[in-house]
């Protein structure tokens, strides 16, 4: 296998009651696993099989002939990143340099929270909400389906999956409630801050 399904950093039930063990098991062991398996079948024996996920995404992002490869590679990357964007007892407002950057970009955590919630709930259909670094400033953006800011020259810091499979078992059609739970109780600000420091290094 060229690409592998990364294990979670926490048990399936670690994010309860905000995300149930049943949702995590289906999401990781079914949905994420399927993207990885489909990607391996699509690139088997070819030059893409030897590349990193990031390079596969960049190579195929704007190539109509590579759309299936991009979709599965990006979804594999997006999900691996998403798992790290959550942790037990997370959420709330970050501290340190990231807090200052959010204040500069949005006017503070509360205004960032509103912008992120608007991006996540305003995304029509399947997609993702992201906090990214674009140049020297932070932005909130949304992407549809498998698209990823990384291939648009932006650095992802935090993301929330707003495909229905991320929340439907727990929240049904209440996407906004899921996103609020993500921001208020699950967001891994230490991970987001590490991405910011990595970009600055």
Q: Please report, for the domain that includes residue 104, its CATH number.
A: 3.55.40.20
Residues 30-54 as b/e (b if ≥16 CB within 10 A, e otherwise) read: eebeebbebbbebbeeeebeebebe
Are 70 and 141 part of one and the same domain? no
The pLDDT value given to residue 156: 97
Q: What residues make up the domain containing 66?
A: 20-84
Question: Rounded to two decimals, what is the model's pTM?
Answer: 0.96
pLDDT digits (tens, 9 = 90+) for 56-93: 999 999 999 999 999 999 999 999 999 999 999 999 99
pLDDT at residue 200 is higher than 70 = no
CATH number of the domain that residue 41 is part of: 1.10.287.990
Looking at the domain assignment, is residue 9 inside a domain?
no
pLDDT at residue 192 is higher than 80 = yes
Angle (nearest 5°) at CA 96 between 90 and 100:
110
Are 71 and 119 part of one and the same domain? no
Confidence of residue 198 (pLDDT cuts 50, 70, 90): confident
């Amino acid at each position: 296998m060229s690409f592998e399904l990364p294990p979670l950093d926490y048990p399936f039930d670690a994010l309860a009651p905000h995300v149930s063990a049943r949702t995590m098991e289906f999401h990781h062991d079914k949905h994420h696993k399927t993207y990885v398996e489909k990607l391996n079948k699509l690139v088997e024996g070819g030059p893409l099989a030897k590349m990193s996920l990031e390079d596969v995404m960049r190579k195929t992002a704007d190539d109509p002939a590579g759309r299936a490869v991009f979709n599965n590679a990006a979804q594999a990357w997006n999900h691996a990143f998403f798992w790290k964007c959550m942790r037990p007892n997370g959420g709330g407002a970050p501290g340190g340099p990231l807090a200052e950057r959010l204040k500069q970009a949005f006017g503070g955590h509360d205004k960032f929270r509103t912008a992120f919630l608007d991006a996540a709930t305003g995304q029509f259909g399947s997609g993702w909400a992201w906090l990214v670094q674009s140049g020297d400033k932070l932005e909130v953006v949304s992407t549809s389906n498998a698209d990823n800011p990384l291939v648009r020259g932006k650095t992802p810091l935090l993301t929330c999956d707003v495909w229905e499979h991320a929340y439907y078992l727990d929240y049904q059609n209440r996407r906004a409630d899921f996103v609020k739970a993500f921001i208020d109780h699950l967001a891994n600000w230490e991970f987001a801050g590490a991405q910011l420091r990595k970009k600055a290094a």
